[in-house]
Amino acid sequence: MSVSDYVIVGAGSAGCALAYRLTEAGHSVTLIEYGGSDIGPFIQMPAALSYPMNMPRYDWGFSTEPEPHLGGRRLATPRGKVIGGSSSINGMVFVRGHRKDFDHWAASGATGWGYEDVLPYFKRMETWHGGTSEWRGTDGPLHVTRGPRDNPLFDAFIEAGQQAGWPYTADYNGEDQEGFGPMEATIWQGRRWSAANAYLRPAQKTGRVTLIRALARRVTFHDGRATGVEITRNGQIETIPAAREVILSASSINTPKLLMLSGIGPAGHLREHGIEVLADRPGVGANLQDHLEVYMQYKSLQPVTLYSHYNLFGKGMVGAEWMVLKSGLGTSNQFESCGFIRSSDQVDYPDIQYHFLPLAVRYDGKSAVEGHGFQVHVGPMRSKSRGRISLNSADPDQPPRISFDYMSHADDWTEFRACIRLTRRIFDQPAFRPYRGDEIQPGASVQSDAEIDAFIRDHAESAFHPCGTARMGAADDPGAVVDPDLSVIGVQGLRVADSSIFPRITNGNLNAPSIMTGEKAADHILGRIGSLPDETRHDPAPEHAAR
């Protein structure tokens, strides 16, 4: 067997981008992915987004331990088990994050990952179809588009946000995130434009990528240097060697699991499971973060919502039009307008995000409200709660233990109450008078702090943005797992490139910063950091006053 220069575990958002850039530079890559093909309408049709994340064929099927602050509920933690990883099962929403997210990373020890450092990679990765802007990319592999906003409720939501006192933002991924405006998506020519479509397929055309379908068991080492990856393939254990380096891009759930199975992690925990300690890194699995959200739902006074299509015949017609023409409602994820606001004047940049949807339904598609309705997904962006990924067993076939410890910090409750009350203010605006009927959820009777807290406890759901479990920081930071070059501290020849490395969760959905991580990781590996054309400095936009 020929030995590839690099072995990457995980054909997801970062792994595909990384494979593309390494092969573009002339290197050979072996990409290990446990999941199978992403071909088929459930993944490729944007409107079908609720299906793949509930299909064992495409999803790892993880769930949390009972969450003590959410009434002991176990929350689903979907992760893509398919070519393209979670970019093949996500909601396709494209949010870079706020400038201050990345400046915070840099200030916390991730030198070289401030906003000015990551902006060139955000630009390099995208072809933006929203016009021309010095902030946006024009010829990258990832197509970023906006929905048509044909449904009148999309513009009503944007207008109501302005009537409630917040600004309009023409491009929340550009100069100024704060405000209400059109939402962007990784959708192109009516199809989900996943990392597999954008990066992996072009990389495979070079002939320098070997894609292996197998379960990664652990990283192999010789004298403290990573030499390859032990896998299970067709029931047999074998080792895939790496001539240069091994890179873990297996998700913020599976990457820390693999590190621990390989002997890198909290020494006491590894010994409990009989794993020989190669590097005592207590930060492996720690610092687990996510976004929680609730769905605030209203009855619609007019039959303009998607409810007309939310039946067997309607879905069939939408699917048929998409299959034949790649047009119609099937081409949209239906998240076409959004908002980013601050919960109070004391907050210096947005800490609440809105996804508006012209249908009252669960995100997993399992239940729709009877009759016409609409909803907004809302939640705080920077929870102070932290959880942990740990091992249930030294058996690679066993899932890890996932404990987010959601809502364990008192500030989370204050911020979430603000989400509920500010949302009501938005829907009370004149723009919604022709449309808004009764509040379905939480319901008009839920008013006091205690009543709102009970609603959150019973109804908050994950937005499926786990990250932070192999935190990037200074090499001498005992809690850091990787240094700013993404090299795992304490060993040689091993890096991590996925959302595990985020020191703190970013403002918004995580697919864009995960792909950026893969893009930037390639330049670290290739020794090209600082070689992108000098960007003009981008001064931050003046922050709007919260109203």
Q: Return d(Cα 302, Cα 216) in angstroms, integer.
A: 52
Three-class SS state of 541: coil
Q: Is 144 annotated as a binding residue?
A: no
Could you say which of 465, 524, 538, 544 is catalytic? 465
Cα torsion at 157, 88, 61, 7 (round to 10°)? Answer: -140
Q: Return d(Cα 409, Cα 376) in angstroms, integer.
A: 24
Active site residue 465: yes
Q: Is 472 annotated as a binding residue?
A: no
Q: Pull the structure tokens for residue 342.
A: 């601050």
Contacts (Cβ under 8 Å, ≥6 apart) of 506: 95, 96, 97, 98, 101, 102, 513
Q: Is 229 annotated as a binding residue?
A: no
Instruction: Please say whether the beta carbons of 322 and 190 come within 8 A.
Output: yes
Q: Considering just the CA atoms, what is the radius of gyration of the chain in Å?
A: 22
Q: Return d(Cα 538, Cα 106) in angstroms, integer.
A: 17
As a residue count, the chain comes to 547
Q: Return d(Cα 87, Cα 510) in angstroms, integer.
A: 10
Q: Return d(Cα 372, Cα 375) in angstroms, integer.
A: 11
Residue with tokens 């060697």: 241
How many helices (H) and strands (E) the chain has is answered by: 13, 25
Sign of CA dihedral 467, 473, 479, 482: positive
Instruction: Please say whether the beta carbons of 483 and 457 come within 8 A.
Output: no
Q: Return d(Cα 247, Cα 249) in angstroms, integer.
A: 6
Closest CA to 359 of 309, 319, 428: 309
Instruction: Please say whether the beta carbons of 16 and 200 come within 8 A.
Output: yes
Q: Is 92 annotated as a binding residue?
A: yes
Q: Return d(Cα 69, Cα 257) in angstroms, integer.
A: 25
Q: Is 90 annotated as a binding residue?
A: yes
Q: Which DSSP symbol is given to 200?
A: I
Binding residues are: 82, 90-93
List active site positions: 465
Binding residues for FAD are: 82, 90-93
